[in-house]
Amino acid sequence: MKKINAAVVGVTGYTGMELVRILIAHPGFDLVAVTSRSQAGKSLTELFPFLAGTDAEMLPVTFPDPELVARDCHVVFLAVPHGTAMNMAAGFVNQKVKVVDLSADFRLRDVKTYTEWYGVEHTRTGLVQEAVYGLPEIYGSEIVRARLVANPGCYPSSVILALYPGLKQGLLNPEGIIVDSKSGVSGAGRAAKTGTLFSEVADSFRAYSLGRHRHTPEMEQELCAAAGQELRISFSPHLVPMNRGILSTCYVYPAGDIKTERLRMVYKEFYRDSPWVRILPEGVLPETRWVRGTMYCDLGFVLDVRTGRLIIVSCIDNLCRGASGQAVANANLMAGFDLELGLKDLPLMP
């Protein structure tokens, strides 16, 4: 297999770190460039000592120069903040480099909605409609042909996979959907902040951004497409004292009389060609430890007979399935590789 040169722009955060971990062992991509404005001049092992002894241990961290990166690379992973990524992405696309953007800059198809929720005017509106939303289970055929993929957010990855098939098949009522999600602390990023210090997080559990989390319109956009109509969800995120993982509990009313056995069959059929979505058997509910470090999304179903609500529980690893691993899966498709190439790791247990 001929390797394709790849670069990670913005390597110092958790998503950049996870990208490096995956790409170093990837048989199809050759990681030849990593960049950082704040850490330029160091080697990768100075930033990440766990990389000692790998092929990339002495790879230099360089200042992000799009022209130099584009000269040497065919695929670029943008792990930079929203607002910054849009112009970088446009520059790479114009130089015929394929881009997987891990920021939110191209996820929302309505630029007014983007500005409303992110507080930034979009400067590359011409690329917004071209960008493909990077959820392979739904948009795989479009990702194959894409120049620019908008990698989904971590919470949306767990929620969309949980609700999309049921809404698409008309089995779930699009009214009154409630989503309660819990995330590990790595979801808040690697920058030092008081709210994510050990003493602030350990032995505690808190909600945040209630009613205004930026991932809400992204989830609604994709779930509206599934349902074929406008809908609104009530989304409540929480921070739990663990490193990685997301557990989303979705409360929704069935559209008519339906048993969990029937729903499970529909989901299995919908995801029959999706190697990473696992429909758990009756009586078994997902746990974050079962997906740690992997691309798996585990789904469990419970019908609350007393209230008439259906409860769908979804678990993913926020850094792998919810960010960097999914970015590599998208790049696999863009490069003509098998979707699972370099992404077949089993969960880290215990």
The CB density around residue 131, as the number of other CB atoms within 10 Å, is 23
pLDDT tens, position by position, 32-79? 999 999 999 999 999 999 999 998 888 999 999 999 999 999 999 999
Please determine, for residue 92, whether its predicted confidence score (pLDDT) is greater than 80: yes
Please determine, for residue 192, whether its predicted confidence score (pLDDT) is greater than 80: no
- Percent of all residues in the chain with a pLDDT value above 90, rounded to a whole number: 91
Question: Which architecture characterizes domain 4-130 according to CATH?
Answer: 3-Layer(aba) Sandwich (3.40)
pLDDT tens, position by position, 282-308? 999 999 999 999 999 999 999 999 999
pLDDT tens, position by position, 301-331? 999 999 999 999 999 999 999 999 999 999 9
Distance from C-alpha of 263 to C-alpha of 126, rounded to nearest angstrom: 40
- Model confidence at 173, pLDDT cuts 50, 70, 90, reads very high
SS (H, E, C) the chain: CCCEEEEEECCCCHHHHHHHHHHHCCCCEEEEEEECCCCCCCEHHHHCHHHCCCCCCCCEEECCCHHHHHHHCCEEEECCCCCCHHHHHHHHHHCCCEEEECCCCCCCCCHHHHHHHHCCCCCCHHHHCCCEECCHHHHHHHHHCCCEEECCCHHHHHHHHHHHHHHHCCCECCCCEEEEEEECHHHHCCCCCHHHCHHHHCCCCEECCCCCCCCHHHHHHHHHHHHCCCCCEEEEEEECCCCCCEEEEEEECECCCCCHHHHHHHHHHHCCCCCCEEECCCCCCCCHHHCCCCCCEEEEEEEECCCCEEEEEEEECCCHHHHHHHHHHHHHHHHCCCCCCCCCCCCCCC
Domain ranges of the chain: 4-130, 155-318
Work out the average pLDDT over 132-155: 98
Domain 4-130 matches domain 155-318 at the CATH topology level: no
CATH topology of domain 155-318: Dihydrodipicolinate Reductase; domain 2 (3.30.360)
- Percent of all residues in the chain with a pLDDT value above 70, rounded to a whole number: 100
pLDDT for the residue 199: 86
Q: Is 154 one of the annotated active-site residues of the chain?
A: yes
Q: Which residue of the set 154, 250, 297, 320 is catalytic?
A: 154
Please determine, for residue 204, whether its predicted confidence score (pLDDT) is greater than 90: yes
Work out the average pLDDT over 213-237: 98
pLDDT tens, position by position, 242-281? 999 999 999 999 998 989 999 999 999 999 999 999 999 9
